[in-house]
Amino acid sequence: EVQLVETGGGLIQPGGSLRLSCAASGFTVSSNYMSWVRQAPGKGLEWVSVIYSGGSTYYADSVKGRFTISRDNSKNTLYLQMNSLRAEDTAVYYCARVGWFRELLWGQGTLVTVSS
């Protein structure tokens, strides 16, 4: 069974850093495109970042220069390193496997709250 489990969320002060993890099972992270998508409380969905199977990475303008997507092939895990966090980064962060038709298959999400 394909499964994605995100961890690492929590309460963090503005300017702080946090690393989210997404442990995958039932498929190989490194052979797939993998994305992070976030949802602010009561709001819609916003794409954050993608890592391609070849290793190329891309980011939304809102997080470029502050967030870094990566993966550990030995652990079959995707990461999102978030630095210089702002209040507007408060959201549930979902990791997702990108399918053949670029559709998204989602984990359960982890909540990040940026507040003093």
Question: Binder to other proteins among 21, 23, 53, 60 (CB under 8 A)?
Answer: 60
Q: Distance (Å, rounded) from C-alpha 85 to C-alpha 63? A: 9
Q: Is 51 helix (H, G, I), strand (E, B) or coil?
A: strand
CB of 29 to other proteins, least distance (A): 18
Q: Which is nearer to other proteins, 29 or 37 (CB)?
A: 37
Residue with the two structure tokens 């997404």:
22
Counting contacts by CB under 8 A, is residue 58 touching other proteins? Answer: yes
- Minimum distance from residue 13 beta carbon to other proteins (Å): 26
Cα separation, 91 vs 9, in Å, equals: 10
Q: Is 99 exposed, middle or buried (0-12, 13-18, 19+ CB in 10 A)?
A: exposed
Piece of the chain touching other proteins by CB under 8 A; list 12-20, 21-29, 76-84, 93-101: 93-101
Please give the residue ranges that form the binding site for other proteins (CB under 8 A): 35, 37, 44-47, 50, 58, 60, 94, 99, 101-109
